[in-house]
Structure 1
């Protein structure tokens, strides 16, 4: 799903029309990085504890590929490869 049809900047009240998920959330931000302190590459942003929920961060920048379902597809592909390797139980 592309963010092209969304009005930017996103507000903390914006939700996904397909899944009703909150869109102004850390895990959907360009700066989200679990390898960094506070899981954020923006060094002066305040810490947000719940990365899945909407927040008031002024540095939020929507990540273009954050709204795709590739993670679920990758997980399914990995399961299929494991099943092929070890056989289904």
Structure 2
């Protein structure tokens, strides 16, 4: 699926080409992006013309679940049960 500036979600109508949907979006990175941007994208939830955009393959819910699982496994190392 090619995601362009005008692409929108069929369910809610919100734009798809936004930083929050990008594989390179990282809140802890400089300009919140893992790519080397000349100018930051200010509004991460609005459509933009970024040339680096690649739709991420996992959802936020999947990432949170894997983080929770990793945290659980880490703490189980120190659990005496």
Fold match by TM threshold 0.5: yes
> What is the Cα deviation at residue 21 of structure 1?
1.2
**Residues 1-89 of structure 1 correspond to what in structure 2 (within 5 A)?**
7-8=1-2, 10-44=3-37, 46-66=39-59, 70=61
Structure 2: stretches of 5+ with no match in the other structure: 66-81
Structure 2 CA distance for aligned equivalents of residues 45 and 26 of structure 1: 15
Residues in 2 aligned to 1:61 and 1:46: alpha-carbon distance in whole angstroms: 18
Note the C-alpha offset of 1:59. Answer: 0.4
DSSP 3-state at the match of 1:64: coil
- RMSD across aligned C-alpha pairs, in angstroms? 1.9
Superposed structure 1 runs of 4+ greater than 6 Å apart: none
In structure 1, distance between residues paired with 2:23 and 2:12: 20
Q: Distance in 2 between matches of 1:27 and 1:50?
A: 10
How many matched pairs?
A: 63
C-alpha separation between the residues in 1 aligned to 2:47 and 2:28?
21
